[in-house]
Structure 1
Amino acid sequence: MYTNIANDLIDKIKHHLFEEKLPTEYELMQEYDVSRNTIRKAVDILSQKGLVRRVQGSGYYINDFGPRADQTINLTMGVSEGFNHLKLTSRVITFDRVVADEALAAEFGCLVGDDLYRVIRYRFRNRQAYTLEYAYYEREEVPFLPIEAAHDSLLEFIRNEYGVSVDTSDQYVGIESFTSEAAFITGLPQGDKYIVLYQSHYRKNNVLFNFSKTYYLDRKIRFYFHASNQS
Structure 2
Amino acid sequence: MYQAIAQAIIKSIMADEYPTKLPTEKVLMAQYNASRNTIRKAIDVVFRHGLLRRVQGSGNFIIKQPQNTKKVLNLSIGFDQSAMVDGGPLVSKIVTFDKVAADEALAQQGNIALGDEVYRVVRLRYLNDVLYDLEESYFPRAVVPFLSSESVQHSIFAFLREAYGITGSTTENYVHQVRVDAQRAELIGCPDGDKTLCLEAINYLVNGTVFNFSKTFFVYPDLELYYHTENIDLQN
Query: TM-score band (shorter)?
Result: 0.7 to 0.9
Q: Which runs of 5+ in 2 are unaligned?
A: none
Letter in 1 for 2:196: Y
Name the residue aligned to 1:10: 10
Following superposition, the deviation at residue 77 of structure 1 comes to: 2.3
Following superposition, the deviation at residue 177 of structure 1 comes to: 0.7
Name the residue aligned to 1:87: 89
Name the residue aligned to 2:227: 225
TM-score scaled by length of structure 2 = 0.85
| Sequence identity (%) | 40
Per the alignment, in what secondary structure is the counterpart of residue 205 of structure 1?
Answer: coil
Aligned length: 231
Letter in 2 for 1:166: G
Name the residue aligned to 1:161: 163
Report if aligned partners of 1:69, 1:84 keep a CA contact under 8 Å in 2: no
Per the alignment, in what secondary structure is the counterpart of residue 170 of structure 1?
Answer: strand
Instruction: Summarize the Cα distance change of 1:16–1:181 in structure 2 as closer, same or farther, 3 Å threshold.
Output: same
Letter in 2 for 1:61: F
Per the alignment, in what secondary structure is the counterpart of residue 92 of structure 1?
Answer: strand
Instruction: Summarize the Cα distance change of 1:132–1:32 in structure 2 as closer, same or farther, 3 Å threshold.
Output: closer
Instruction: Summarize the Cα distance change of 1:195–1:22 in structure 2 as closer, same or farther, 3 Å threshold.
Output: same
Name the residue aligned to 1:71: 71
Q: Which runs of 5+ in 1 are unaligned?
A: none
In 1, Cα distance between the equivalents of 2:39 and 2:126?
37
Worse-superposed segment, 30-39 or 191-200: 30-39
In 1, Cα distance between the equivalents of 2:175 and 2:119?
23
Instruction: Summarize the Cα distance change of 1:23–1:134 in structure 2 as closer, same or farther, 3 Å threshold.
Output: same
- RMSD of aligned alpha carbons: 2.4
Q: Does 1:49 align with 2:49?
A: yes
Report if aligned partners of 1:72, 1:84 keep a CA contact under 8 Å in 2: no
Name the residue aligned to 1:140: 142
Per the alignment, in what secondary structure is the counterpart of residue 200 of structure 2?
Answer: strand
Letter in 1 for 2:17: L
Instruction: Summarize the Cα distance change of 1:17–1:119 in structure 2 as closer, same or farther, 3 Å threshold.
Output: same
Worse-superposed segment, 195-204 or 61-70: 61-70
Letter in 2 for 1:145: L
Name the residue aligned to 2:201: 199
Report if aligned partners of 2:83, 2:90 keep a CA contact under 8 Å in 1: no
Letter in 2 for 1:16: D
- Of residues 71, 93, 100, the one that matches 2:102 is 100
